[in-house]
Amino acid sequence: MSHERSFSIEKSLITTKLSKLREYQRFLKELQATSIEDFTSDFKIRGAVERYLQVSIECIVDIGNEIISSLQLQRPALQRHPIHPSQSRNHPQNLR
């Protein structure tokens, strides 16, 4: 009897998520040209950036979860004290 585990990573899911991640990165690169004044005053631009960052993070988490699940790894502990965006050095309010 062999104790080897067979791992099957869903490559199509990872490929799809990476493709989406590249697409969101292109959108964010375009929005990077926005001035800080426009970013802070235009809710549409700010909302677009926030949304593309959110779906990018979701893609990364989905890829990580697929790898963890496929390799039957132990899930990492949850971070209990997330950093609020306004506490970041790079938050627009703190760039002044």
Q: What is the pLDDT along the chain (96 residues), one digit of tens a residue?
A: 445 566 788 899 999 999 999 999 999 999 999 999 999 999 999 999 999 999 999 999 999 999 988 888 887 777 665 556 666 565 556 555
Q: Cα separation of 10 and 17, whole Å?
A: 11
Centre a 10 Å sphere on the Cβ of residue 64 and count the other Cβ atoms it contains.
14
Cβ contact 29:1 at 8 Å: no
pLDDT for position 2? 47
Q: Cα separation of 16 and 5, whole Å?
A: 26
Query: pTM value?
Result: 0.70
Q: Cα separation of 15 and 51, whole Å?
A: 21
Spatial CB neighbours of 24, under 8 Å, sequence gap ≥ 6: 52, 55, 56, 59
45-50 contact pairs (CB < 8 A, 24+): none
